[in-house]
Amino acid sequence: MTDSNVLDKVSLVYGQMNEPPGNRLRVALTGLTMAEYFRDEKDENGKGKDVLFFVDNIYRYTLAGTEVSALLGRMPSAVGYQPTLAEEMGVLQERITSTKTGSITSVQAVYVPADDLTDPSPATTFAHLDSTVTLSRSIASLGIYPAVDPLDSTSRQLDPLVIGHEH
Protein backbone atom coordinates (compact mmCIF):
# COMPACT_ATOMS: atom_id res chain seq x y z
CA MET A 1 0.00 0.00 0.00
CA THR A 2 2.93 2.30 0.65
CA ASP A 3 4.46 1.68 -2.78
CA SER A 4 1.20 2.46 -4.58
CA ASN A 5 0.51 5.59 -2.46
CA VAL A 6 -2.91 4.48 -1.24
CA LEU A 7 -2.16 4.23 2.47
CA ASP A 8 -3.58 7.69 3.19
CA LYS A 9 -6.82 6.65 1.45
CA VAL A 10 -7.35 3.41 3.40
CA SER A 11 -9.20 2.75 6.65
CA LEU A 12 -9.12 -0.71 8.20
CA VAL A 13 -11.47 -2.14 10.83
CA TYR A 14 -10.67 -5.51 12.37
CA GLY A 15 -12.75 -7.96 14.36
CA GLN A 16 -10.50 -10.81 15.33
CA MET A 17 -11.89 -14.25 16.06
CA ASN A 18 -10.53 -14.18 19.64
CA GLU A 19 -12.72 -11.18 20.50
CA PRO A 20 -16.21 -11.46 22.04
CA PRO A 21 -19.03 -12.06 19.53
CA GLY A 22 -20.63 -8.69 20.30
CA ASN A 23 -17.46 -6.92 19.20
CA ARG A 24 -17.21 -9.02 16.04
CA LEU A 25 -20.88 -8.40 15.22
CA ARG A 26 -20.35 -4.63 15.33
CA VAL A 27 -17.21 -4.58 13.16
CA ALA A 28 -19.03 -4.78 9.81
CA LEU A 29 -21.45 -2.04 10.88
CA THR A 30 -18.56 0.13 12.11
CA GLY A 31 -16.71 -0.27 8.82
CA LEU A 32 -19.87 0.53 6.91
CA THR A 33 -20.49 3.65 9.02
CA MET A 34 -16.98 4.83 8.13
CA ALA A 35 -17.64 4.13 4.44
CA GLU A 36 -20.89 6.12 4.63
CA TYR A 37 -19.03 9.03 6.23
CA PHE A 38 -16.47 9.12 3.39
CA ARG A 39 -19.25 8.77 0.80
CA ASP A 40 -21.33 11.61 2.28
CA GLU A 41 -18.60 14.03 3.46
CA LYS A 42 -18.56 16.75 0.81
CA ASP A 43 -15.37 18.28 -0.53
CA GLU A 44 -14.99 21.89 -1.75
CA ASN A 45 -16.89 20.96 -4.94
CA GLY A 46 -19.86 19.57 -3.01
CA LYS A 47 -19.04 15.97 -3.92
CA GLY A 48 -18.49 13.00 -1.66
CA LYS A 49 -16.23 10.10 -2.44
CA ASP A 50 -16.70 6.83 -4.25
CA VAL A 51 -15.79 4.20 -1.64
CA LEU A 52 -14.62 0.64 -2.22
CA PHE A 53 -15.69 -1.43 0.80
CA PHE A 54 -14.07 -4.86 1.28
CA VAL A 55 -15.52 -7.45 3.67
CA ASP A 56 -13.45 -10.52 4.50
CA ASN A 57 -15.45 -12.57 5.41
CA ILE A 58 -19.19 -11.83 5.65
CA TYR A 59 -19.73 -15.30 7.12
CA ARG A 60 -17.93 -14.07 10.26
CA TYR A 61 -20.65 -11.44 10.65
CA THR A 62 -23.29 -14.18 10.48
CA LEU A 63 -21.35 -16.40 12.88
CA ALA A 64 -20.99 -13.57 15.41
CA GLY A 65 -24.74 -12.92 15.13
CA THR A 66 -25.40 -16.59 15.79
CA GLU A 67 -23.24 -16.50 18.92
CA VAL A 68 -24.86 -13.30 20.22
CA SER A 69 -28.30 -14.78 19.58
CA ALA A 70 -27.40 -17.89 21.58
CA LEU A 71 -26.06 -15.75 24.44
CA LEU A 72 -29.40 -13.88 24.47
CA GLY A 73 -31.26 -17.20 24.74
CA ARG A 74 -33.02 -16.99 21.38
CA MET A 75 -34.27 -20.19 19.81
CA PRO A 76 -32.11 -20.95 16.75
CA SER A 77 -33.69 -21.31 13.33
CA ALA A 78 -32.57 -23.41 10.36
CA VAL A 79 -29.15 -25.07 10.73
CA GLY A 80 -28.63 -23.29 14.06
CA TYR A 81 -28.47 -19.72 12.76
CA GLN A 82 -30.08 -16.82 14.59
CA PRO A 83 -33.79 -16.31 13.83
CA THR A 84 -33.00 -12.71 12.82
CA LEU A 85 -30.41 -13.64 10.15
CA ALA A 86 -32.33 -12.20 7.17
CA GLU A 87 -33.12 -8.97 9.02
CA GLU A 88 -29.54 -8.46 10.24
CA MET A 89 -28.09 -9.18 6.81
CA GLY A 90 -30.60 -6.81 5.21
CA VAL A 91 -29.74 -4.01 7.64
CA LEU A 92 -26.08 -4.33 6.70
CA GLN A 93 -26.37 -4.91 2.95
CA GLU A 94 -29.02 -2.28 2.22
CA ARG A 95 -26.75 0.46 3.58
CA ILE A 96 -24.26 -0.25 0.78
CA THR A 97 -25.66 2.21 -1.74
CA SER A 98 -25.10 5.32 -3.82
CA THR A 99 -26.30 8.82 -2.96
CA LYS A 100 -26.23 12.14 -4.78
CA THR A 101 -22.78 12.87 -3.38
CA GLY A 102 -20.96 9.53 -3.72
CA SER A 103 -21.18 5.77 -3.76
CA ILE A 104 -20.18 2.63 -1.90
CA THR A 105 -19.21 -0.42 -3.91
CA SER A 106 -18.62 -3.59 -1.93
CA VAL A 107 -16.53 -6.69 -2.58
CA GLN A 108 -17.29 -9.46 -0.09
CA ALA A 109 -15.75 -12.85 0.49
CA VAL A 110 -18.46 -15.35 1.39
CA TYR A 111 -17.53 -18.62 3.09
CA VAL A 112 -19.90 -21.39 2.01
CA PRO A 113 -20.13 -24.09 4.72
CA ALA A 114 -19.64 -27.58 3.25
CA ASP A 115 -19.78 -26.00 -0.23
CA ASP A 116 -23.58 -25.86 0.17
CA LEU A 117 -24.84 -22.78 -1.69
CA THR A 118 -28.30 -23.35 -0.18
CA ASP A 119 -27.01 -22.95 3.39
CA PRO A 120 -29.02 -20.10 5.00
CA SER A 121 -25.97 -17.90 5.63
CA PRO A 122 -24.60 -17.63 2.08
CA ALA A 123 -28.09 -17.85 0.56
CA THR A 124 -29.21 -14.85 2.63
CA THR A 125 -26.08 -12.95 1.63
CA PHE A 126 -26.39 -13.79 -2.08
CA ALA A 127 -29.91 -12.35 -2.15
CA HIS A 128 -28.36 -8.88 -1.67
CA LEU A 129 -25.44 -9.13 -4.10
CA ASP A 130 -25.52 -7.92 -7.70
CA SER A 131 -23.05 -10.56 -8.82
CA THR A 132 -21.25 -13.58 -7.44
CA VAL A 133 -18.06 -15.28 -8.56
CA THR A 134 -18.03 -18.87 -7.30
CA LEU A 135 -14.70 -20.63 -6.87
CA SER A 136 -14.81 -24.41 -7.20
CA ARG A 137 -12.66 -26.99 -5.41
CA SER A 138 -13.22 -29.46 -8.25
CA ILE A 139 -11.97 -26.96 -10.84
CA ALA A 140 -8.97 -26.11 -8.64
CA SER A 141 -8.16 -29.83 -8.33
CA LEU A 142 -7.74 -29.85 -12.12
CA GLY A 143 -5.04 -27.18 -11.76
CA ILE A 144 -7.19 -24.46 -13.32
CA TYR A 145 -6.72 -21.06 -11.67
CA PRO A 146 -8.60 -18.95 -10.95
CA ALA A 147 -11.00 -21.81 -10.27
CA VAL A 148 -14.12 -19.88 -11.30
CA ASP A 149 -17.24 -21.95 -11.84
CA PRO A 150 -19.20 -20.07 -14.52
CA LEU A 151 -22.33 -22.16 -13.95
CA ASP A 152 -22.59 -21.23 -10.25
CA SER A 153 -21.46 -17.61 -10.76
CA THR A 154 -24.18 -15.04 -11.38
CA SER A 155 -24.75 -11.43 -12.40
CA ARG A 156 -27.96 -9.43 -12.30
CA GLN A 157 -26.62 -7.39 -15.22
CA LEU A 158 -26.75 -10.49 -17.44
CA ASP A 159 -30.41 -9.89 -18.07
CA PRO A 160 -31.94 -9.50 -21.55
CA LEU A 161 -33.50 -6.22 -20.39
CA VAL A 162 -30.00 -4.89 -19.64
CA ILE A 163 -27.73 -6.40 -22.31
CA GLY A 164 -30.25 -7.38 -24.98
CA HIS A 165 -31.31 -10.76 -26.34
CA GLU A 166 -28.29 -11.36 -28.59
CA HIS A 167 -25.86 -11.82 -25.72
Same domain (yes/no): 29, 83: yes
Taking residues 96-102, report their average pLDDT.
94
pTM (predicted TM-score): 0.85
Same domain (yes/no): 120, 153: no
Same domain (yes/no): 89, 119: yes
DSSP state string for 10-66? -------TTS-HHHHHHHHHHHHHHHHHHHH---TTS---EEEEEEE-HHHHHHHHH
Residue 2 domain flag: no
Position 6 scores a pLDDT of 84
| pLDDT tier, 163 (very low <50, low <70, confident <90, very high otherwise) | confident
Taking residues 4-14, report their average pLDDT.
88
For 165, the domain range is: 133-167
More confident residue, 38 or 161: 38
